[in-house]
């Protein structure tokens, strides 16, 4: 389909794995006599890795004019800006849809639907360093490190450049 357009939403894989493990564990404890958090951690780390690897391979086969990349965190910080970019990419006018979008977001946020989901990787037998190592290429390719870590990383790089000079 040469006219197809694809929207790729990218999220910090550490958060994806942690959130997925927590959601799966909660569902398994309801629907099963046994839920092994260690198994869930291993399984979802592998599954998330496969998903991301396959997504990147597919994305690389798509012409840049047919794809757009969106950072998940931007949906929280600037959802209107993201939606404007997406609509523009799709060749659509956003103005008619904005009032309904604004009402929806206002209602959703007022009902506390956007509360943070809390989870701990170690509860699933995972270490942050192992998750980061597995997805380092993806995090770097799409600048997905949390903002504080990006600042720290930039600071470390700057100090290294100064030390070399």
CATH code of 113's domain: 3.40.50.300
Distance of CA 71 to the CA centre of its chain: 7
Structural domain containing residue 63: 6-164
Indicate whether 151 belongs to any domain.
yes
HSE, CB side, 13 Å, CA atoms: give it for residue 113: 9
Indicate whether 1 belongs to any domain.
no
Tokens read off for 86: 């997406």
- Is this model's pTM higher than 0.85 or not? no
**82-103 pLDDT per residue, tens:** 999 999 999 999 999 999 999 9
Indicate whether 15 belongs to any domain.
yes
Taking residue 12's Cβ as centre, other Cβ atoms within 10 Å add up to 21
**Between 39 and 119, residue with greater pLDDT:** 39
Indicate whether 58 belongs to any domain.
yes
Q: CA 35 to CA 124: how far, in whole Å? A: 11
* Structural domain total, the chain: 1
pLDDT-wise least confident of 15-19, 42-46, 49-53, 110-114: 110-114
């Amino acid at each position: 389909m040469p006219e197809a357009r694809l929207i790729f939403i990218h999220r910090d894989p550490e958060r994806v794995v942690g959130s997925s493990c927590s959601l799966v564990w909660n569902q398994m404890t309801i629907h099963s006599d046994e839920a092994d958090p260690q198994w869930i951690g291993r399984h979802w780390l592998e599954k998330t890795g496969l998903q991301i690897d396959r997504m990147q391979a597919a994305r690389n086969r798509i012409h840049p004019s047919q794809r757009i990349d969106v950072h998940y965190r931007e949906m929280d910080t600037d959802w209107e800006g993201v939606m404007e970019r997406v609509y523009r990419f799709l060749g659509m006018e956003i103005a008619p849809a904005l009032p309904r979008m604004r009402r929806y977001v206002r209602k959703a946020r007022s009902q506390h639907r956007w509360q943070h989901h809390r989870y701990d990787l170690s509860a699933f037998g995972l270490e942050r360093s192992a998750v980061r190592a597995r997805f380092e290429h993806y995090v770097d390719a799409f600048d997905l490190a949390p903002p504080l870590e990006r600042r720290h990383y930039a600071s470390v790089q700057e100090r290294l450049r100064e030390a070399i000079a």
